[in-house]
Amino acid sequence: MSPTPSNQFDAIIIGGSYAGMSAALQLVRARRKVLVIDSGLPRNRNSLAAHGFIAREGLPPAEIAAKARAELMAYPTLTWHEGRATQAKVLEEGVSFEVGCDDGSAFIGDRLVLAYGVTDTLPDIEGLAERWGRSVFHCPYCHGYEIYEGNIGVIGCSEDGGVGQALLLCDWGNITLFCCNPDGIDPEKRERLDACGATIESTTIQHVEDEATVVLSDGRKLILDALFLLPQSRLSCDVAEQLGCELLDAGCIVADSAKQTTVPGVFTCGDAGRMAGSIALAVGEGALVGVAVHRSLLGLLD
Protein backbone atom coordinates (compact mmCIF):
# COMPACT_ATOMS: atom_id res chain seq x y z
CA MET A 1 0.00 0.00 0.00
CA SER A 2 1.33 3.43 -0.91
CA PRO A 3 1.15 6.22 1.68
CA THR A 4 -1.69 8.71 1.32
CA PRO A 5 -1.96 12.22 2.83
CA SER A 6 -3.90 10.74 5.77
CA ASN A 7 -0.93 8.46 6.39
CA GLN A 8 1.55 11.32 6.75
CA PHE A 9 2.73 12.45 10.18
CA ASP A 10 5.06 14.90 11.83
CA ALA A 11 6.61 11.99 13.73
CA ILE A 12 6.35 8.22 13.60
CA ILE A 13 7.23 6.37 16.79
CA ILE A 14 8.05 2.69 16.37
CA GLY A 15 7.34 1.06 19.72
CA GLY A 16 4.50 2.01 22.04
CA SER A 17 5.84 1.02 25.42
CA TYR A 18 6.99 3.44 28.14
CA ALA A 19 9.67 5.30 26.17
CA GLY A 20 7.64 5.56 23.00
CA MET A 21 4.51 6.77 24.79
CA SER A 22 6.49 9.32 26.79
CA ALA A 23 7.97 10.73 23.57
CA ALA A 24 4.52 10.79 21.97
CA LEU A 25 3.06 12.71 24.91
CA GLN A 26 5.48 15.61 24.49
CA LEU A 27 4.75 15.80 20.77
CA VAL A 28 0.95 15.67 20.91
CA ARG A 29 1.04 18.32 23.61
CA ALA A 30 2.96 20.41 21.08
CA ARG A 31 -0.05 19.78 18.77
CA ARG A 32 1.96 17.66 16.38
CA LYS A 33 0.48 14.80 14.36
CA VAL A 34 1.98 11.61 15.75
CA LEU A 35 1.70 7.93 14.81
CA VAL A 36 2.65 5.18 17.27
CA ILE A 37 3.23 1.72 15.78
CA ASP A 38 3.21 -1.00 18.42
CA SER A 39 3.26 -4.81 18.32
CA GLY A 40 1.93 -5.22 21.87
CA LEU A 41 4.90 -7.17 23.23
CA PRO A 42 6.64 -5.05 25.91
CA ARG A 43 9.82 -6.45 27.39
CA ASN A 44 8.39 -6.67 30.92
CA ARG A 45 5.09 -8.29 29.95
CA ASN A 46 5.73 -11.24 32.29
CA SER A 47 6.34 -9.12 35.38
CA LEU A 48 3.67 -8.95 38.06
CA ALA A 49 4.79 -5.63 39.52
CA ALA A 50 6.90 -2.64 38.46
CA HIS A 51 9.29 -1.04 40.93
CA GLY A 52 11.52 2.02 40.99
CA PHE A 53 9.03 4.22 39.14
CA ILE A 54 7.91 7.04 41.40
CA ALA A 55 4.13 7.39 42.00
CA ARG A 56 3.54 3.99 40.35
CA GLU A 57 5.46 1.80 42.81
CA GLY A 58 4.36 -1.84 42.81
CA LEU A 59 1.66 -1.51 40.15
CA PRO A 60 1.38 -4.17 37.41
CA PRO A 61 3.28 -3.00 34.32
CA ALA A 62 0.28 -3.71 32.09
CA GLU A 63 -1.85 -1.39 34.24
CA ILE A 64 0.70 1.44 33.95
CA ALA A 65 0.93 0.98 30.18
CA ALA A 66 -2.85 0.83 29.72
CA LYS A 67 -3.36 4.05 31.67
CA ALA A 68 -0.63 5.79 29.69
CA ARG A 69 -2.16 4.70 26.40
CA ALA A 70 -5.61 5.87 27.48
CA GLU A 71 -4.17 9.29 28.37
CA LEU A 72 -2.47 9.51 24.97
CA MET A 73 -5.57 8.52 23.04
CA ALA A 74 -7.40 11.53 24.50
CA TYR A 75 -5.27 13.76 22.25
CA PRO A 76 -6.81 14.22 18.78
CA THR A 77 -3.48 14.30 16.93
CA LEU A 78 -2.43 10.84 18.17
CA THR A 79 -2.92 7.77 15.97
CA TRP A 80 -2.21 4.28 17.30
CA HIS A 81 -1.48 1.48 14.83
CA GLU A 82 -1.38 -2.08 16.15
CA GLY A 83 1.18 -3.95 14.14
CA ARG A 84 4.86 -4.55 13.59
CA ALA A 85 7.09 -2.19 11.64
CA THR A 86 9.15 -4.29 9.23
CA GLN A 87 10.57 -1.78 6.75
CA ALA A 88 11.92 1.73 6.86
CA LYS A 89 13.78 3.96 4.44
CA VAL A 90 14.94 7.53 4.07
CA LEU A 91 12.95 9.38 1.41
CA GLU A 92 14.78 12.68 1.85
CA GLU A 93 17.71 13.00 4.20
CA GLY A 94 16.69 14.47 7.53
CA VAL A 95 13.15 15.42 6.53
CA SER A 96 11.14 12.46 5.23
CA PHE A 97 10.93 8.75 6.03
CA GLU A 98 8.70 5.85 5.03
CA VAL A 99 7.76 3.01 7.37
CA GLY A 100 6.06 -0.20 6.26
CA CYS A 101 4.24 -2.67 8.51
CA ASP A 102 3.60 -6.40 8.42
CA ASP A 103 -0.03 -5.83 7.43
CA GLY A 104 0.98 -4.01 4.25
CA SER A 105 0.24 -0.52 5.53
CA ALA A 106 2.73 2.28 4.90
CA PHE A 107 3.27 5.66 6.52
CA ILE A 108 5.40 8.75 5.95
CA GLY A 109 6.88 10.82 8.77
CA ASP A 110 9.02 13.92 8.94
CA ARG A 111 10.87 12.37 11.90
CA LEU A 112 11.28 8.84 13.23
CA VAL A 113 11.65 7.63 16.82
CA LEU A 114 13.00 4.11 17.32
CA ALA A 115 11.61 2.93 20.65
CA TYR A 116 11.00 -0.72 19.88
CA GLY A 117 13.24 -2.06 22.62
CA VAL A 118 15.05 -5.35 22.81
CA THR A 119 14.26 -9.06 22.91
CA ASP A 120 15.88 -11.21 25.60
CA THR A 121 17.29 -14.67 25.01
CA LEU A 122 17.64 -16.78 28.16
CA PRO A 123 20.07 -19.63 28.78
CA ASP A 124 18.74 -23.00 27.63
CA ILE A 125 17.81 -24.21 31.09
CA GLU A 126 14.47 -25.92 31.68
CA GLY A 127 12.17 -23.88 33.91
CA LEU A 128 13.76 -20.45 33.36
CA ALA A 129 11.47 -19.05 30.68
CA GLU A 130 8.21 -19.57 32.55
CA ARG A 131 9.65 -17.87 35.65
CA TRP A 132 11.16 -14.92 33.76
CA GLY A 133 9.92 -11.69 35.32
CA ARG A 134 8.34 -13.53 38.25
CA SER A 135 11.14 -15.22 40.19
CA VAL A 136 13.92 -14.97 37.59
CA PHE A 137 15.09 -11.38 37.06
CA HIS A 138 17.87 -9.27 35.58
CA CYS A 139 17.60 -5.95 37.50
CA PRO A 140 18.18 -5.82 41.29
CA TYR A 141 17.02 -2.20 41.41
CA CYS A 142 13.65 -3.35 40.13
CA HIS A 143 13.30 -6.54 42.17
CA GLY A 144 16.02 -6.73 44.83
CA TYR A 145 14.20 -5.00 47.68
CA GLU A 146 11.48 -7.64 47.89
CA ILE A 147 14.03 -10.41 48.51
CA TYR A 148 16.25 -8.51 50.95
CA GLU A 149 18.40 -10.91 53.02
CA GLY A 150 17.00 -13.83 51.06
CA ASN A 151 18.88 -16.52 49.17
CA ILE A 152 19.72 -15.32 45.67
CA GLY A 153 21.18 -17.34 42.83
CA VAL A 154 23.12 -15.72 40.01
CA ILE A 155 23.39 -17.69 36.78
CA GLY A 156 26.72 -16.77 35.25
CA CYS A 157 25.78 -16.60 31.58
CA SER A 158 27.35 -13.19 30.92
CA GLU A 159 30.83 -12.53 29.58
CA ASP A 160 32.35 -12.22 33.08
CA GLY A 161 30.67 -15.39 34.31
CA GLY A 162 28.14 -13.42 36.37
CA VAL A 163 30.76 -12.07 38.77
CA GLY A 164 29.79 -8.41 38.39
CA GLN A 165 26.11 -9.11 38.92
CA ALA A 166 26.88 -11.31 41.91
CA LEU A 167 28.95 -8.56 43.55
CA LEU A 168 26.17 -6.06 42.93
CA LEU A 169 23.55 -8.34 44.46
CA CYS A 170 25.55 -8.84 47.66
CA ASP A 171 23.75 -5.77 49.02
CA TRP A 172 20.42 -7.59 48.72
CA GLY A 173 20.98 -11.12 49.93
CA ASN A 174 23.02 -14.29 50.32
CA ILE A 175 24.60 -15.10 46.98
CA THR A 176 25.19 -18.38 45.20
CA LEU A 177 27.00 -17.85 41.91
CA PHE A 178 26.53 -20.63 39.36
CA CYS A 179 29.75 -20.44 37.38
CA CYS A 180 31.08 -23.31 35.28
CA ASN A 181 34.66 -21.96 35.37
CA PRO A 182 35.41 -20.63 38.88
CA ASP A 183 39.15 -20.82 38.22
CA GLY A 184 38.71 -18.13 35.58
CA ILE A 185 37.41 -15.55 38.06
CA ASP A 186 39.71 -12.57 38.56
CA PRO A 187 41.54 -13.09 41.91
CA GLU A 188 40.66 -9.62 43.21
CA LYS A 189 36.99 -10.16 42.45
CA ARG A 190 37.17 -13.63 43.95
CA GLU A 191 38.38 -12.04 47.18
CA ARG A 192 35.48 -9.62 47.11
CA LEU A 193 33.01 -12.46 46.57
CA ASP A 194 34.56 -14.34 49.49
CA ALA A 195 34.31 -11.23 51.67
CA CYS A 196 30.59 -11.03 50.84
CA GLY A 197 30.14 -14.65 51.87
CA ALA A 198 29.15 -15.68 48.35
CA THR A 199 29.12 -19.36 47.45
CA ILE A 200 30.44 -20.41 44.04
CA GLU A 201 28.81 -23.49 42.54
CA SER A 202 30.39 -25.05 39.45
CA THR A 203 28.06 -28.02 38.99
CA THR A 204 25.83 -27.74 35.92
CA ILE A 205 22.23 -26.65 36.42
CA GLN A 206 19.79 -29.31 35.24
CA HIS A 207 16.54 -27.38 35.68
CA VAL A 208 14.65 -24.93 37.87
CA GLU A 209 11.49 -25.86 39.78
CA ASP A 210 9.07 -24.47 42.39
CA GLU A 211 9.69 -20.75 43.05
CA ALA A 212 13.38 -20.66 42.24
CA THR A 213 14.81 -24.02 43.33
CA VAL A 214 17.84 -25.02 41.30
CA VAL A 215 18.28 -28.74 40.60
CA LEU A 216 21.88 -29.59 39.77
CA SER A 217 23.12 -32.36 37.49
CA ASP A 218 24.37 -34.33 40.52
CA GLY A 219 20.86 -34.38 42.00
CA ARG A 220 21.32 -31.70 44.64
CA LYS A 221 18.57 -29.11 45.12
CA LEU A 222 19.35 -25.56 46.19
CA ILE A 223 16.24 -23.78 47.47
CA LEU A 224 16.50 -20.09 46.55
CA ASP A 225 14.17 -17.11 46.78
CA ALA A 226 15.06 -15.70 43.36
CA LEU A 227 17.43 -16.08 40.45
CA PHE A 228 19.19 -13.31 38.54
CA LEU A 229 20.95 -13.40 35.20
CA LEU A 230 21.99 -11.10 32.38
CA PRO A 231 20.24 -12.37 29.24
CA GLN A 232 21.54 -11.95 25.74
CA SER A 233 19.57 -9.03 24.34
CA ARG A 234 19.15 -7.86 20.76
CA LEU A 235 17.13 -5.14 19.09
CA SER A 236 13.58 -6.30 18.50
CA CYS A 237 13.69 -5.50 14.78
CA ASP A 238 16.22 -4.44 12.15
CA VAL A 239 14.71 -1.06 11.21
CA ALA A 240 17.76 0.80 12.55
CA GLU A 241 20.05 -1.24 10.32
CA GLN A 242 17.79 -0.66 7.31
CA LEU A 243 18.03 3.08 7.87
CA GLY A 244 21.82 2.92 8.25
CA CYS A 245 21.99 3.82 11.93
CA GLU A 246 25.28 3.03 13.64
CA LEU A 247 25.09 0.41 16.40
CA LEU A 248 27.26 -0.15 19.45
CA ASP A 249 28.95 -3.52 19.97
CA ALA A 250 26.36 -4.26 22.66
CA GLY A 251 23.60 -3.86 20.07
CA CYS A 252 22.23 -0.48 21.16
CA ILE A 253 21.65 2.30 18.65
CA VAL A 254 24.28 5.04 18.76
CA ALA A 255 22.83 8.46 19.60
CA ASP A 256 24.01 11.91 20.66
CA SER A 257 22.98 13.86 23.77
CA ALA A 258 19.60 14.67 22.19
CA LYS A 259 19.17 10.96 21.37
CA GLN A 260 19.43 11.61 17.63
CA THR A 261 21.04 8.68 15.84
CA THR A 262 23.76 8.89 13.21
CA VAL A 263 20.96 9.24 10.63
CA PRO A 264 19.62 12.84 10.75
CA GLY A 265 15.96 12.99 11.73
CA VAL A 266 15.96 9.56 13.38
CA PHE A 267 15.92 9.43 17.18
CA THR A 268 15.98 6.60 19.70
CA CYS A 269 14.95 6.05 23.32
CA GLY A 270 14.32 3.25 25.79
CA ASP A 271 16.20 -0.04 25.69
CA ALA A 272 16.90 0.35 21.96
CA GLY A 273 19.28 3.18 22.81
CA ARG A 274 20.28 2.22 26.34
CA MET A 275 19.85 -1.32 27.67
CA ALA A 276 18.95 -0.21 31.18
CA GLY A 277 15.69 -2.12 31.62
CA SER A 278 14.17 0.62 33.77
CA ILE A 279 10.71 2.15 33.31
CA ALA A 280 11.83 5.36 34.99
CA LEU A 281 14.80 5.79 32.64
CA ALA A 282 12.69 4.86 29.62
CA VAL A 283 10.05 7.47 30.47
CA GLY A 284 12.69 10.13 31.10
CA GLU A 285 14.51 9.44 27.84
CA GLY A 286 11.21 9.36 25.98
CA ALA A 287 10.35 12.83 27.27
CA LEU A 288 13.78 14.09 26.22
CA VAL A 289 13.32 12.64 22.73
CA GLY A 290 9.83 14.08 22.33
CA VAL A 291 11.15 17.57 23.06
CA ALA A 292 14.19 17.04 20.82
CA VAL A 293 12.02 15.88 17.92
CA HIS A 294 9.77 18.93 18.28
CA ARG A 295 12.77 21.27 18.31
CA SER A 296 14.16 19.43 15.30
CA LEU A 297 10.91 19.97 13.38
CA LEU A 298 11.24 23.70 14.10
CA GLY A 299 14.91 23.78 13.06
CA LEU A 300 15.94 24.62 16.63
CA LEU A 301 17.88 21.48 17.58
CA ASP A 302 21.55 22.35 18.08
The domains found in the chain, sorted by start residue, are 5-119+232-297 (3.50.50.60), 123-229 (3.50.50.60)
pLDDT in tens, 193-248: 999 999 999 999 999 999 999 999 999 999 999 999 999 889 999 999 999 999 99
Give, in order, the Cα–Cα distances in Å from 16 to each of 38, 241, 281, 291, 300. 5, 20, 15, 17, 26
Assess contact for 231 and 242: CB atoms under 8 A: no
When pLDDT is averaged across residues 170-183 and rounded to a whole number, the result is: 92
When pLDDT is averaged across residues 165-179 and rounded to a whole number, the result is: 96
Residue 6: predicted pLDDT: 75
When pLDDT is averaged across residues 119-142 and rounded to a whole number, the result is: 94
Kindly indicate the confidence band of residue 1, based on its pLDDT and cuts at 50, 70 and 90: very low
The rounded percent of the chain whose pLDDT value lies above 90 is 87
Q: Which of 203, 137, 149 is nearest to 173 (CA)?
A: 149
pLDDT in tens, 258-288: 999 999 999 999 999 987 788 999 999 999 9
Kindly indicate the confidence band of residue 150, based on its pLDDT and cuts at 50, 70 and 90: very high
Mean pLDDT of the chain: 94
pLDDT in tens, 25-54: 999 999 999 999 999 988 888 898 999 999
Residue 164: predicted pLDDT: 93
CA-CA distance, 302 to 153, in Å (whole number)? Answer: 47
- Is the pLDDT at 5 greater than 70, yes or no? no
Residue 183: predicted pLDDT: 84
Q: Which of 106, 26, 108, 113 is nearest to 72 (CA)?
A: 26
pLDDT in tens, 47-67: 989 999 999 999 999 999 999
Assess contact for 218 and 205: CB atoms under 8 A: no
Q: Is the pTM of this model over 0.85?
A: yes
Task: Find all residues with CB under 8 Å of 186, minimum gap 6, and list them.
Answer: 163
